[in-house]
A and B are shown apart, each in its own frame.
Chain A
Amino acid sequence: MSEDHRREGDGRQGHSRESHGQQSHGRQDHGREDRRGTAVVVGAGLAGLTAATGLAARGFDVTVLEARDRVGGRTHGIEAAPGTWVDGGAAYLGDRHTELLALASELGLKTTPTTMLGASRFALDRDPDRDPDPDPDSAPADRTATGTATRDGRFPPLNAVALGDLFERLAQLTAAVRPEAPWLTPDAERLDTLTAAEWAEQHLSHPDARLFFPLFLGEMCAADPADVSVLHLAFYLRSGGGLRYLNAFAGGAQQDRIDGGAHRLCERLAERLGDRVRLGEAVLAVHQDDRAVTVRTDRSAYRADVAVMALPPLLADAIAYEPALPVPRAGERTARGCAVKVHLVYPAPVWRDHGLSGWSVNARGPLLSTVDDSPEGGIGVLTGFVTGAEAHRFGALTPEQQRAETLAQAGRLFPMLPEPVGFHVTDWLDDPFSRGCYAALLGPGDWTRLGPTLTAPHRRVHWAGTETSTAFFGLMEGAIRSGHRVVAEVLDRG
C-alpha cells in the first residue's frame, strides 16, 4: 500500500466533496499491476478488519473507516489493573469457533480457560405476590434466610422437570429451524409472528420455568423475551451450536477467553493494516454511480470500486444510501441487544478460597449473573451481566446509584468480598457506535422480511458483521466468518 493513496483520500486537507470524488484513491492512481481494485470498509470491528485484511492480502487497495477513536467494535479492553486487561465486550469462545481460533493463533494470541471450579450462588426467590410457589415444601434446605442458595455446579435450585420441559421445547424449536435460512423454516410465518414472551405465556405453565426463561434468554442473547421472535430465538440457539453448547463453559461456547482481551485481535489486525485504518470518521452516506461507490464521512469522501459495510444492522440503516436500499438492514421491531457489563476488581479472587466459583444466577438485578473472569495468577475479576429489561433500568441510573446497587448485591452473593479496588460499567445499550450488544435482536416479522437479503449486495455495496452470518450469529466467530464471506463475494465480482 503506497503512501500517496492515503494522502489523496485525506479529507482533512480541506478538499470539497466534489474534488474528493475525483481525487480520492483509485487504481488508476497507481502503476502497480497486482491491484485488484479499491475497497472502502466501514467499521473496524472484527468483521471489518477481517474483511479489510483479506482484501488487502489479495491486492485490494483498502481503506477502513471507523467512527470511534479506537478499533474493536463490540470487543473492548478495560485495564482492570496496570497491564491487566479484561473484556468489556465480547469475551468468550469455544473449540467450535474455528475461524476465531485460527485468527488468534495467526496473530500470536493465546487463549485462557474460563475458570468454573466450586459452588455457585443462586438468588432465585420469586416475587411472592406475583408468582406464588406452588409447592413451598420443595424449597431446598440450603436456601438461606436471605434467599440465596449455594449449590455445586451451575444447576439452579429450581424444579428440574419444569426446566427440562422448557429445554425440551426449546430443543424442539431449535432442531426444526433451517439454520442457513431461518426464513425458510417450516412454519416460519407463525414462528416469526410470536414474541418469545408470548410463546412463554402459551407454553410455560410452571412458575420455575417462567422464572428461568427470561434469565436464560438474557444470558444467551442479551434479550428481553418481548424483544425477540420465537423464530429468532430458535435460530440464535441453533446458530450458536445448540442449547447445550451455547450454554456451557467447559466444552461449550464460554470455554476460553483471549489472553489479554479479545480486543487484541482487532488491535493486531489494525496494526498490520497501519494507516489504512482511519479513526474518528463516521460514515454518513453511500452514493453509487455506474463506475464507483463514494463513501462520505463527516470529514471526507472516499471513492472506490466496492464498499463493505461491516456494521450492526441498526447502524447500517442510519446511513443514507443513493440509490436507496431495496430492503432495509433492520426491521421495525429490530432491537438493540440489551447488555451492560460490570467488572468488579479485587486484589485476588477471594471467593475461590471459600469454595465458590464466582458463578451466580439471580432473579433480580442489577447483576442477573456473575462469572469469574480473573486473569491468571493475579487480581480477581468478577464480571456481572445486566441484561434484558434490567439493562434499560440500570443504564438510566446515575454512576453512584449503579455502584451502590452493584456492591450491595455483590455483598449479598459473596459476603467475603472486600471493597473493590476497581469498578467498571460498560453500557452497550447506550453506545451510539454499537447500539446494543451482544447483537441485534430480531423481532416479529424481521427474519421473514429481512432474511432473504441478509447478504445480498446492493450493487457495489456488500454486507458484513456478525448479524450477517447465519453460523455463530452474534458471536465473534460469526463476525470473522462474515468477513471471510464478503472477501469471497468481492473477489467473485470479477
Chain B
Amino acid sequence: MSTDLTTPAGPNTGTGSTADDLEAVFRRVLEREDVTADSDFFDLGGDSLVATRVLSAVARTHGVELTFDDFLLAPTPARLAHRIATTA
C-alpha cells in the first residue's frame, strides 16, 4: 500500500462520490476492508495519529483543511463527506 504524496492538493476530479473516496481512505489507513459509509473511524481501531492521515488525505484530495476536532464530530465517511461539502 502506498500513497502518492506528490499529487498537489486540489478539488476532487475523480468519478466517485466524496463518501466513496473517504471509505477508501479509511480502508487504506485502518488497513481493513470492512468500512461502510456509516463506519465510525474510532470503532474500527482508528486513533488520533491515524485520524491525522485522513485529514491529510482530505486536504490533498479536496483542498479542505479540517481540524482534529472537526473529525471527532464527523468520524464516518458519510458525515465527513457532508462536512467537506459544507466547508468547501
Contacts and interface: CB of A to CB of B under 8 A. Distances in A.
Nearest to B58: A161
B40 to A, nearest CB: 15
- Most-contacted residue by chain B among A164, A167, A247, A251 (CB, 10 A): A164
Interface stretch (B10-18, B42-50, B78-86): B42-50
Contacts of A248: 47, 49
Contacts of A102: none
Interface stretch (A19-27, A170-178, A336-344): A170-178
Nearest to B65: A161
Interface in A158-183: 160-161, 163-165, 167-169, 171-172, 175-176
Contact of B29 (A161, A165, A171): A171
Nearest to B45: A251
Contacts of A176: 2
Nearest to B4: A172
Contacts of A163: 49, 52, 56
Interface in B31-88: 31, 45, 47-57, 59, 65-68, 71
A171 to B, nearest CB: 7
A244 B59 CA distance: 21
A149 interface: no
Contacts of A244: 45, 47, 49-50
A160 B52 contact: yes
Interface residues of A, number: 21
A413 interface: no
Interface string A142-163: 0000000000011100001101
A288 B12 CA distance: 66
A249 B57 CA distance: 25
Interface in A120-162: 153-155, 160-161
Contacts, number: 67
A371 to B, nearest CB: 16
B22 to A, nearest CB: 14
Nearest to A152: B72
A242 B31 CA distance: 11
A160 B3 CA distance: 18
Contacts of A243: 49-50
B49 A160 contact: no
A167 B48 contact: no
Contact of A165 (B2, B31, B45, B56): B56
A160 B29 contact: no
A88 B70 CA distance: 39
Contacts of B31: 242
A168 B49 contact: no
Nearest to B50: A244
A168 B67 contact: no
A161 B55 contact: yes
Find the residue from A163, A175, A176, A242 having the highest chain B CB count within 10 A.
A163
Contact of A168 (B47, B57, B65, B66): B57
B45 A154 contact: no
Nearest to A163: B52
A189 B59 CA distance: 32
Contact of A167 (B45, B56, B67, B68): B56
Given A160-B55, A244-B49, 8 more contacts: A155-B52, A160-B68, A164-B54, A167-B53, A168-B3, A244-B47, A247-B47, A247-B49
29 contacts: A154-B48, A155-B48, A155-B52, A155-B68, A160-B52, A160-B71, A161-B56, A161-B66, A163-B56, A164-B54, A164-B57, A165-B5, A167-B52, A167-B53, A168-B56, A171-B3, A171-B29, A171-B53, A172-B2, A172-B5, A175-B2, A242-B31, A243-B50, A244-B45, A244-B47, A244-B49, A244-B50, A247-B49, A248-B49
Interface of A: 153-155, 160-161, 163-165, 167-169, 171-172, 175-176, 242-244, 247-248, 251
